Amino acid sequence: MSATRYAAAPDAARSTRDCTDPWFFVLFNADRTVAPCCWHPPVARLAPGDSLEAALNGAAIKAVRRELLTGRLNAACADCPARGLTDPVSLAKRVQAEMAALRG
């Protein structure tokens, strides 16, 4: 029996998710794990004294961002039921526009 797929699979034309969460959202759980969204597994666990900023700029979250921008998605992002598909260039433009808007 195969697993139920709730989202369209990435393809050649739309190889990434239309997701800016890893840049603008964080899920900080009671067990001190940090995730880029509610669908993705944690990318860090904060020990007492660790900074959230370090987790948000760490190698694991940077890898998720890079995967989204290149269309080489990890399994969690490839199967994400929360975000539609887009192409990497369009996603990069959206991330840049949202960052510019934050800077004012």
pLDDT, tens digit (0-9, with 9 covering 90-100), for 38-71? 999 999 999 999 999 999 999 999 999 999 999 9
pLDDT, tens digit (0-9, with 9 covering 90-100), for 80-95? 999 999 999 999 999 9
Distinct helix (H) and strand (E) counts, the chain: 5, 5
Quote the CA–CA distance of 36 and 58 in Å, as a whole number: 12
Whole-structure pTM value: 0.90
Q: Is the pLDDT of residue 5 over 70?
A: no
